[in-house]
Structure 1
Amino acid sequence: MKYFFLLFFAFACVDAASAQDYVKHKVSKSETVTQIAKKYNVTPFDIYRLNPDAQNGLKENDMLLIPSVKGTGKSKPRTHLVEQGETLYSIARKYDVNVKDLEKVNADIVKGGLKKGQTISIPGGTVDAVATTSETKIEKVVATANMHIVQAGETKFSIAKKYHLSVAELEKQNPSITSGLQTGMTLRVASETRTGNASEPIAERPKPAIQEITVPAKTETEVVRKPVRTGYANYEVKSGETLFGLAKSFNLSEQQLIDLNPTLKDGVKTGMILKVPSKGSIAAAETRKDYTDLTKVAKGGDKKKLVLLLPFNAAKISADTTKATAERLKKDAFLNLTLDFYSGALMAIDSAKTLGLNIDVKIYDSEESKASSKVIDIIRANELKNADAVIGPFYQQHVEKAAEELNAANVPVISPLSKESAKKFSNLYQAMPSEQYTKKMVLDFMVGKGANIVVVSDPKRTSNREFITTNYPDVKFAEVDPSGSVSADKLRALLVKDKQNYVVLDTEKTGMILATTNLLLNEVANFKIQLVIIEPNETLDFEEISMKRLTVLKLVYPSMTRDNDSASAQGFRDAFKAKNRVFPNQFATRGFDVTFDTMLRLSQGKSFADSAAEQKTEQVESKFDYTPKDGGFVNKGIYILQYNEDLSVKEVE
């Protein structure tokens, strides 16, 4: 049906074109849509609207229909109402005009600087009012059919993020955007792994071209083993060793180790002699300092009971027809998130079986929404007070009810996804560090370095300012006027010679970010400066904020996950792809990490609580370092990462 609407709309567009004045244009060699649009004083969108095939690229002698702005009788001068934080550059990009041309037609306004509420002229004649109406209509119709109209100011990253794609996937579906986006383009945005809700982004930050940086690269790496296949040797299996642990130690996948030693299909036995890479060909696997590889000391032991409370809400689905279920899977982001987490958890259960862990896993439908759940009924009906650990439910208010219900029995309840600050129960473990705790970790890191800390803060972001001044009284704040402008002299006066200066940027305003980083770039030759953010900031992902300035300033930022290219991590991704036909997204990986970490802790010959108190761990993307906090437990496993000038990202030391 959606294809019927697309065809109907395409014919409607042609009819609309025939009803208004237009001219024909024959494409010259190497001519682009942007150049043609400027020539006729129209927008690229106007051309794509009448010539949808043009989004796939132009060829010499192609014939295009160009709307005539003079023929409608409904044209009006192009103007723009300035919004807070906008710059000449961002406005010029929005209308696809040159900044110098914009300055020429607004000389009086530009002289005094842009201000919110000003109306400025846009060079290029007039804009067709009917075209504007059609643009809105196209946005609504095409978006329902896995298509997207590029709006002014959008980037490949922001579009990929909106539709749960990687930039690579977006470019693969739309080869014409490889060299750049143009306003008005119609893009395909279909994805097998898309959850259908733009509020749950999973797109990865695009990797910029290395050619941008001219400074010689100095690469630092955290690789802990380097295989050089020069021969093989014999290895005797020791007591307690597992297939998973052995494969990891020799930087092989489990299947590669089995291929070398077919007898492993029957299980790992103490005293077995295995064929492995020779002694001189591979370095012994190292574990990150203070972190324990629980797979190496996992024990069978007495059977443990693990319970997962996941919000499938199956009662709603069972009442649906097959068609309605398919539609729900397209639109219900929360259900897709649950299924992704569940698929990752199943991979963890499979890995536990491979390790020989003696764990009985029960999975119950928590039937939860923000307003209600069946959690308490499930706990009481299934005697979950006898469980050794419970993962879930997802919503913070429901996981707190579960912890309260199981508190007397001292059953650990792990909250897998919520970042909210929790009510304190002695058996509640927050697997996701809260936003407040993330800020604290970054600030503690800077204080621990004995550095000079300066904050450039948006005047409206009062909560972060109060948090910093209350807990870190020695931190300095740069003077910022109500419009967000920072005095170069006053900022420079706060920096200290011959000492590390961390400048914390606490704003999402593009203009303020550009102005502050420009000031810092001018001072990097005089001071040791690093730019810092204490929480995620999506504005830094816009193309207007170039990657180069962030790498030169060696941006430091917090993250709950890290890129992991180790053999074991790649093995997980490959196994997940083989089983589910797609690579795992962030929620599937989270499901694996939380579940596998919990199962390993239950298999150490001690309780989950004892393991959480004594052992720090790392899984595929996340680390788990539970610490007591106000009567409960919070995971302080935050990665503090840094951009380097060679475009690499590494964990700071």
Structure 2
Amino acid sequence: MQYYSKIWLCGLFFIGSLFAQDKASTHKVAKGETIAQIAQKYKVSPYDIYQLNPDAQAGISQNTLLLIPKAGAKVQSKTVTSPTVVSKKVTHEVAPKETLFGIQKKYNVTEATLFKANPFLENDGLQIGQKLVIPNGVVTKATTTTAPKTVTPVFHLVQPQETKFSIAKKYNITIEELEKKNPEVVANLPVGFNLLIKGNRAKEVKEIEDVADKKELTSKSTSSDVQNYTVKPKETLYSLTKTSGLSQEELIVLNPELKNGVQEGMLIKLPAAVKLMTQPEAKKGITQLSKQNAADRKKLVLLLPFNIAKIANDTVNSTTERLKKDKFLNMTLDFYSGALIAVDSAKQLGIDVDVQVFDSQETKMSSQVSSIIKSNDVENAQVVIGPFYQNNVEKTAELLSGTDVAVISPLSKETGKAFPNLYQSIVSADVIKNAVFDFMKSKEGNIIAVVDKKKESARNYFNQFQKEVKIAPLTPTGGVNAEALKGLLQKDKMNYVIIETGSTMMIKATIATLLSVMKTYKVQLVTLETNPTLDTDEISFDNLVKLKLMYPSATRENETDEARIFEQKYRKENKVYPSSFATRGFDLTFDTLMRMAQDKTFQETIESAATEQVENRFEYYKKENGGYTNKGVYILYYDSDMTIKQAN
């Protein structure tokens, strides 16, 4: 340790020799100090500190010696040798409620540029009082150069129900290429995002588009071509975009006063051609739970596997490194972050629930459930969400089985022992598969299956549980017998053809056969589970759309106001788009809190109401051997407009 300290100190003296004595001083890092705090203390920018201490970008620790420039002194780590380029930068002090996005917009810089100039943002995040270096571009002297040949960029504005898969197919590129050009959509695909398909995302292109859009909107909205709209109670700028179909920027161009906020009774202008949209009615079978006058304050307990003790005792990995490596911890934190948004949303609705969170300290084989229940009066709660592992959640249900406490398994797909107070919230694979058969039978369809010889388990499933399915004969070599398949079709019914193979040749042959008979028969291609072969370049996406590929799913893509509000709120709190686990945490927790707010017991709401949240549907039913399980499944299909829709 002393050896490394000496090397670090020698490095400081070497760098220090480049400056006059009155232009720099040293600082010994105290426990817990950050570069941002040190910069604020000496009234310099973190950028200046990093220029003199480049190794500090990898992190600093207690007793590290840093070279600190004197306030106002010019810091230059190396001589500028180019006589034709002069860099310019501006310093910005972060004010309360400011966001990275707002700063980027204010100075017209990209997030990558901002992070490059202020490396501490990667670890410290944005904090009030920080001094950010804002690179303001470069000033170049007049020189004669040949302009490089530019490629006109191609953009795609993401529409509701679109997926990366459908967009990639549309432009004949792979999903990997799409994500490489648009790293912002690796985790999620936000509606309204301007995807780069070809070329480079030049700032100038975006500016030209914005100016053109504003001119077009202004020209279309003359005094004789507008309508007035009175803002209703609780409406926001976001909800106005949904009502009008305009973007926030378009609304502000027409109504500059909206920059200062939306107020009830405000009179705003909208283009006369705009048709105001109303909220859709609740779907059949779905109950919109609202706050009721529940008699007593209720208690919700979250048992989540943070495993804090394990992290604290990890002498090999730092917390940052562990977060990068530990997928289970990331899943837990994402779920928890979504649950926190749900708790806050419930509070805004006036739902009075006492929420307690405990570290279940669990692995697949052990947990601290027993001691938590004994020491924290958990038996007086109404609902417990968690733990994550099935054997641990079953142990929790067993320990609380003599009470009225409902125990919800949040993420486990496994099923084991049944307890009357155990609620399985994840839809099982069998339930998902059965749901699509229930749908096809409800439509009185003719169900046919093309089954690969290698899929003997699928063949046995049909013969044992779905005996009405007609299995298409194969050729002697195991290929698709086109004529035999056509012979099973019926003219007076919808012919649902299930594809059970991973073979590209069999899938292409089945598709070709169905396309050839579409003028005579009603046909629809069906898959019972995710089939990776369908997501390859070998299979034409256009053909899947023509055959309206149908499949069951436990989650959906949701573009309602409620879903957008959740995403917007999550991004504001966490600076990233919500992952599937974060959305799951929100959906399950919010559904639970809404049920707890009724004038009924939790069990009574389970037996009487199915609900839908952002991505998940909760429709529990009582199992024969005890307990409850969720059967909330969506039947989805590829529609002709290249979007995924829910089958009715």
TM-score bracket, normalised by the shorter chain, equals 0.5 to 0.7
Q: 2:419, 2:634 → 1: CA distance?
A: 26
Which segments of 5 or more consecutive residues in structure 2 lack a partner in the other structure?
A: 1-162, 198-225, 249-257, 270-274
Aligned residues of 1:612 and 1:626 also touching (Cα < 8 A):
yes
1:496 maps to 490
1:232 maps to 230
Aligned residues of 1:505 and 1:532 also touching (Cα < 8 A):
yes
2:283 maps to 288
- After superposition, residues 130-279 of structure 1 pair within 5 angstroms as 180=173, 230-232=228-230, 259-261=261-263
Report the identity percentage.
44
1:568 maps to 562
Shift of 1:204: 10
1:56 maps to none
> What is the letter of the counterpart of residue 597 of structure 1?
D
- 1:374 paired with 2:373, answer no
Q: 1:636, 1:229 → 2: CA distance?
A: 46
> What is the letter of the counterpart of residue 303 of structure 2?
L
Q: 2:643, 2:175 → 1: CA distance?
A: 29
Q: 1:248, 1:463 → 2: CA distance?
A: 52
Q: Please say which of residues 640-649 and 370-379 is displaced more in the overlay.
A: 370-379
Shift of 1:592: 0.4
Aligned residues of 1:230 and 1:281 also touching (Cα < 8 A):
no
Q: Give CA-to-partner distance per residue, 1:126-162, whole Å, 9 cap, x none.
A: xxxxxxxxxxxxxxxxxxxxxxxxxxxxxxxxxxxxx
Q: Counterpart of 1:456 in 2: which secondary structure?
A: strand
1:551 maps to 545
Which segments of 5 or more consecutive residues in structure 1 lack a partner in the other structure?
A: 1-165, 172-177, 195-200, 211-227, 236-241, 263-273
Shift of 1:632: 2.1
Shift of 1:624: 1.0
1:396 maps to 390
Aligned residues of 2:243 and 2:276 also touching (Cα < 8 A):
no
1:585 maps to 579
Shift of 1:301: 4.0
2:631 maps to 636
Aligned residues of 1:390 and 1:414 also touching (Cα < 8 A):
yes
Q: 2:441, 2:483 → 1: CA distance?
A: 25
Shift of 1:635: 1.3
1:434 maps to 428
Shift of 1:408: 1.8
Aligned residues of 1:250 and 1:284 also touching (Cα < 8 A):
no
Q: 1:373, 1:482 → 2: CA distance?
A: 55
Q: 1:589, 1:482 → 2: CA distance?
A: 48
Quickly say closer, same or farther: Cα 1:424–1:251, change in 2 above 3 A: farther
Q: Give CA-to-partner distance per residue, 1:179-234, whole Å, 9 cap, x none.
A: 85799x9x97997998xxxxxx9789999999xxxxxxxxxxxxxxxxx9742277
Q: Give CA-to-partner distance per residue, 1:362-398, whole Å, 9 cap, x none.
A: 1111112222222233223323221101111111222
Q: 1:359, 1:335 → 2: CA distance?
A: 27
Aligned residues of 2:448 and 2:495 also touching (Cα < 8 A):
yes
1:72 maps to none
- After superposition, residues 32-47 of structure 1 pair within 5 angstroms as none
Quickly say closer, same or farther: Cα 1:401–1:193, change in 2 above 3 A: farther
Q: Please say which of residues 643-652 and 594-603 is displaced more in the overlay.
A: 643-652
2:413 maps to 419
Quickly say closer, same or farther: Cα 1:643–1:589, change in 2 above 3 A: same
2:80 maps to none
Aligned residues of 1:300 and 1:603 also touching (Cα < 8 A):
yes
- After superposition, residues 466-545 of structure 1 pair within 5 angstroms as 466-480=460-474, 484-545=478-539
- 1:364 paired with 2:362, answer no
Quickly say closer, same or farther: Cα 1:482–1:351, change in 2 above 3 A: farther
Q: Counterpart of 1:573 in 2: which secondary structure?
A: helix
Aligned residues of 1:529 and 1:553 also touching (Cα < 8 A):
yes
Q: 2:610, 2:638 → 1: CA distance?
A: 25
1:305 maps to 299
> What's the RMSD between the two structures over aligned residues?
3.9
Q: 1:585, 1:416 → 2: CA distance?
A: 15
Q: Counterpart of 2:395 in 1: which secondary structure?
A: helix
> What is the letter of the counterpart of residue 598 of structure 2?
Q
Quickly say closer, same or farther: Cα 1:445–1:361, change in 2 above 3 A: same
> What is the letter of the counterpart of residue 232 of structure 1?
T
- 1:651 paired with 2:646, answer yes
> What is the letter of the counterpart of residue 287 of structure 2?
T
Q: 1:422, 1:243 → 2: CA distance?
A: 47
> What is the letter of the counterpart of residue 443 of structure 1?
F
> What is the letter of the counterpart of residue 640 of structure 2?
E
> What is the letter of the counterpart of residue 614 of structure 1?
S
Shift of 1:275: 6.8
> What is the letter of the counterpart of residue 631 of structure 2?
K
Quickly say closer, same or farther: Cα 1:445–1:209, change in 2 above 3 A: farther
Q: 1:204, 1:545 → 2: CA distance?
A: 26
2:130 maps to none
Q: 1:551, 1:204 → 2: CA distance?
A: 22
Aligned residues of 1:300 and 1:356 also touching (Cα < 8 A):
no
Q: 2:262, 2:413 → 1: CA distance?
A: 44
